[in-house]
Copies of this chain bind each other. A is one copy, B any other.
Amino acid sequence: MRTLLIISHPSIADSHTQRFLWESLPEEGVSWHHLEKEYPSNQIDIQKEQTLLLEHDRILFQFPLYWYSSPPLLKQWQDEVLTEGFAYGKTGNLLTGKEFGLIVTTGVHERAYQAGREEKFTIPELMRPFEAVANKCGMIYLPVLLLARFDYLSESEKKALLIRYRQYLTNQNDDSLVAREQWFKQELRTYGKKDFSEEDQQLIELLIEQMEENREQLDDLLFTLQELEEL
């Protein structure tokens, strides 16, 4: 699976969060595509953007929440790139079946986004226009990944969130336990060996073995359950 990560941020150099996210990208499978860097004078290359979309299976928008939506260049990108005959309409629906998700950063507490609190609406409610884009183009809409007050998190909270971020970028759209196990094993095998002492690497191998043993026991239990149901 190939992921196109379309970032819109007018002042990305000043954003710790965006740098953190950039540094935690997996080594392959994800194309980082920063619109304001690519098009400093707002002249979007429509043909190039459409080709990029076709080359990827998962399309993600990553942006800071400005006035409950994206920065303007990402809106311009939608208006110019998602044309009739390419993204929707009778003559072409070339994005149908692709996955589409949002990674939204905000300096406001997540709990503020609900009825009765300061921001009044939830993030999924505020993102309806993007959900409607997915609907129009026949894309599979993923749950929004909200990164709230990232700068204020502790180191371990940041690490936990970065795992969710990496899963969002590359994990199959399958929240089952089996899928998450597979993803963790893959990640541990690929990245766990770097920058770790021999002792830690042994620990990682033990962890993977334990996970596989648990899985075998779970499979046995599931098998027994099925047998019982058939009686």
The interface of chain A, by Cβ under 8 A from chain B, is: 42, 66-73, 75-76, 78-79, 82, 119-121, 125-126, 128-133, 135-136
Q: Is the CB of B121 within 8 A of A131?
A: yes
Number of copies: 2
Q: Is the CB of A75 within 8 A of B78?
A: no
A76: chain B residues at CB < 8 Å are 72
In whole angstroms, how far apart are the Cα atoms of A129 and B120 in the complex?
10
Interface of A is mostly: helix
Q: Which of chain B's residues has its CB closest to A66's CB?
A: B79
Query: A72-B73, A75-B67, A79-B67 known; A129 and B132 CB under 8 Å?
Result: no
Q: Is the CB of B133 within 8 A of A120?
A: no
Q: Is the CB of A68 within 8 A of B132?
A: yes
A71: chain B residues at CB < 8 Å are 75, 79
In whole angstroms, how far apart are the Cα atoms of A128 and B72 in the complex?
17
Q: Is the CB of B72 within 8 A of A72?
A: yes
Q: Is the CB of B133 within 8 A of A68?
A: yes
A78: chain B residues at CB < 8 Å are 66-67
A82: chain B residues at CB < 8 Å are 67
Beyond known contacts A42-B42, A119-B136: 14 more, CB 8 A cutoff: A66-B78, A67-B82, A68-B129, A68-B130, A69-B69, A72-B76, A72-B79, A120-B132, A120-B135, A121-B131, A125-B128, A126-B129, A128-B128, A129-B129
Q: Which of chain B's residues has its CB closest to A77's CB?
A: B72
A128: chain B residues at CB < 8 Å are 68, 121, 125-126, 128
In whole angstroms, how far apart are the Cα atoms of A210 and B120 in the complex?
46
In whole angstroms, how far apart are the Cα atoms of A66 and B75 in the complex?
9
